[in-house]
Amino acid sequence: MDENGTAATTRSARAAAAPVTRADDAARPERRPPAAEPMFGPPPVPRAWWRRQWMVPLAVAVVGFLALSLPRYLSGDRTRTPVQLNPGFPLHYPLLVAHVMFGSIALVGVCFQMWTWLRDHHPRVHRAIGRTYIFAGVIPTGLLALAIMPFSHGPAGNAVAAVLWLTTTVAGFRAVRQRRYAAHRRWMIYSFALTMQIIWGRVMFVVLALIPGVDLSDPHTLTLVFDTAAWIGFVINLLAAQWWLERNVAVNIRRQPS
């Protein structure tokens, strides 16, 4: 075979190997797989930190609550403890103090975790504080609450709140480990609501105690007021968290460009 025949054969082989492109295929737009959508609606629209007016009252409420509560538990004087100690359980007081200390870490940590500016601009700090909030705050506090409950005869609502608190926090941690960030935010909003129930529960106790006819000197009435305040403290917080999440999703959908 001469050189011209060899060249023709090579061109024919290249033409056969080349993909066939039709005119209508070239004009047809490229089909791409649909983008993954967030699990619970579109991501929140970023806002300046100073426009989140609730951050300052939240910090003030937490600092004020800790300033009033911690001295009564950490003084070393068991008689100053607002919780009635069980004389038949010697570890009641040290476990109670540990519960309060770990709970203080959770209260302070959740304030920083709810600070969107910190999460957006310093994600490493956000993750470090988040691990502290979970493993040095929520988990030991919740477990100690469940351990103390049988000996302190506390409100049943506190036990339910502790179980829900542990559940939502662990679920939020698992979600972020699986990179399901929308689900993580939602679970941690619930965890935040249950963290703050301790403050709201105390407020509701004072409100209920001010109702005319309520006699806190009666042990039965005192137990009833404690139980009612404990249930109100976390139920209303969870309802408020659910309302805020649904409202936020609706607002973000309206803000998306059409």
Encode pLDDT of 59-73 as tens digits: 899 999 999 989 988
How far is the C-alpha of 129 from the C-alpha of 40, rounded, in Å?
Answer: 24
Q: What percent of the chain has pLDDT over 70?
A: 76
| pLDDT of 165 over the 60 cut | yes
Q: Which residue has the higher pLDDT, 46 or 137?
A: 137
Lowest mean pLDDT among 12-26, 149-163, 215-229: 12-26
| pLDDT of 248 over the 60 cut | yes
- At 5, list the tokens: 């025949």
Tokens 């339910």 identify what position? 160
- At 25, list the tokens: 């295929």
Q: What is the pTM of this model?
A: 0.75
